[in-house]
Amino acid sequence: MKRVPLRISPSVGVGLDLGSACVHAGWVDGRGEERCISLARRAPDEPYSVDEMADIAGVLWRHGAPGSAAEVAIPKSLLSHAPMDLPPAESGAPVDEIARAQLARAARPASAALGDGGGEPVSTTSFELAIWSPEGAVGHQRSRAVGVVCAHADAEPLLDGLAAAGIEATALRPSAWALAQAVADGGPIRCVLDAGWSNASFVAAADGQVLFERPLKSLGFRRVVAAVQERARLSAGLARWVSTVGRRQDRSLAAAVSASIQPFGIKAADEARASLAFVRRCWPDRFEPKLWIAGGGGDDEEYLDWMSAQLDVEVVPLREGKAASSAAAALGLARHAAGLLKAAGAATEVAA
């Protein structure tokens, strides 16, 4: 796999979140001020092409993003998650080697995520691995980790496309890690529901470290758009527009969206409730009864209202100032790249 050097500027940083339906970019300039932009993709869910990367780079530079280096959130479609039993980090055991061996063995019969398939053995060096360890958890949960995997075969085309567009990827990060930076303030454990287009995930983090992540692949906002499309008999593009801006302009369209969001919100609340209960059991002394909503869900007032009505914790969007919740991961990466522990003032959204 092509290795990229880690270069962190002490004063500026750019974060790039390559989503399925939108691209979000955030940066911290030399004065410590934050900016962010969001771009709708012309072909949601499709792989990123070199031409699309070049368009993204052009928009970034036109809006004043500093330099050509960026920390990049890996598209979720390129990641796989696996629960693992691992010794605690403080045990001195070679946790990374043990985790890689477990994943390679598990992938051998059908190695779609880590290798070439066909039952061939999977090399323990053919993928990048991040481990979310439940540090400080009570009871037997201390040994239950989550491995997040990105195969080199998937990462290399992404890196090549970024490089061809003139973007130097100083690091590839899972979006959960990026969100952990967005809520890093030295306080209690933060629980974040990343309600994106293709899927959702529940993340528990503290001090910039992910303690727990639970993918919720059936809860992407594309399900709402699909339901609106069927209910109102619209094209896919029109249904997507109606589900966002359009419903504010037509009451009949708004009713179709509301009827689709309600069952979706109830299911999302059920999944969030179970995950919150898990975090409360594992970290009873550090649990905060609050759920932060990132991704497009944090920008949807009706979705936020439904979640608030269904849960017994405070529900708040993960955003500061005028920045959208959908840009939270990008801003988290930008703060890390700039060497900032937390935001140095409110972020401003830039019209793309």
Per-residue pLDDT of 30-71, as tens digits, reads 777 888 999 988 888 888 999 999 999 999 888 888 878 899
Give φ, ψ of 83 to 5 degrees. Answer: -70, 145
Contacts of 115 (CB under 8 A, 6+ apart): 107, 121, 122, 123, 126, 151
The mean pLDDT of 246-253, rounded to a whole number, is: 70
pLDDT of 187: 82
Any idea which residue has 């477990």 for tokens?
Answer: 102
Q: 145, 131 in Cβ contact below 8 A?
A: yes
Stated as kind and residue range, the H or E segment containing 278 is helix 251-282
Our measurement of the distance from residue 7's CA atom to the centroid of its chain's CA atoms, rounded to an integer in Å, reads 22
pLDDT of 6: 33
pLDDT tens-digit series, residues 8-37: 334 468 999 999 889 999 998 777 788 899
DSSP letter, residue 114? T
Name the more confident of 16 and 263. Answer: 16
pLDDT tens-digit series, residues 122-161: 777 888 888 898 888 886 666 788 888 888 888 999 999 9
Confidence of residue 114 (pLDDT cuts 50, 70, 90): low
Stated as kind and residue range, the H or E segment containing 309 is helix 301-310
Q: Which ranges in 11-114 belong to alpha helices (H)?
A: 50-62, 95-107
Confidence of residue 324 (pLDDT cuts 50, 70, 90): confident
pLDDT of 203: 96
pLDDT of 245: 65
Confidence of residue 226 (pLDDT cuts 50, 70, 90): confident
Percent of the chain with pLDDT over 90: 34
Confidence of residue 279 (pLDDT cuts 50, 70, 90): very high
Confidence of residue 210 (pLDDT cuts 50, 70, 90): very high
The mean pLDDT of 323-339, rounded to a whole number, is: 89
Candidate from 73-82, 103-112, 249-258 with smallest mean pLDDT: 103-112
Name the more confident of 5 and 239. Answer: 239
pLDDT tens-digit series, residues 164-198: 999 999 999 999 999 999 998 878 999 999 998 88
Q: 191, 276 in Cβ contact below 8 A?
A: yes
Candidate from 261-275, 276-290, 330-344 with smallest mean pLDDT: 330-344
pLDDT of 1: 41
Q: 337, 14 in Cβ contact below 8 A?
A: yes
pLDDT of 192: 97
E strands in the chain: 13-18, 22-28, 34-40, 69-73, 80-85, 127-132, 144-151, 168-173, 189-195, 200-206, 209-216, 287-294, 314-317, 347-349
The mean pLDDT of 311-328, rounded to a whole number, is: 88
Contacts of 203 (CB under 8 A, 6+ apart): 176, 179, 180, 191, 192, 193, 194, 210, 212, 213
Distance CA(216)–CA(193), nearest Å, equals: 10
Give the chain's mean pLDDT: 82
Q: 339, 170 in Cβ contact below 8 A?
A: no
pLDDT of 95: 85
At 288, the amino acid letter reads E
pLDDT of 105: 74
pLDDT at 110 over 60: no
Residues in the chain, overall count: 352
pLDDT of 24: 94
**Range 30-40 burial, b when 16+ CB lie within 10 A, else e:** eeeebbbbbbe
pLDDT tens-digit series, residues 74-97: 988 888 888 888 887 677 788 888
Q: 150, 18 in Cβ contact below 8 A?
A: no
**Other CB atoms within 10 Å distance of the CB of residue 101:** 12
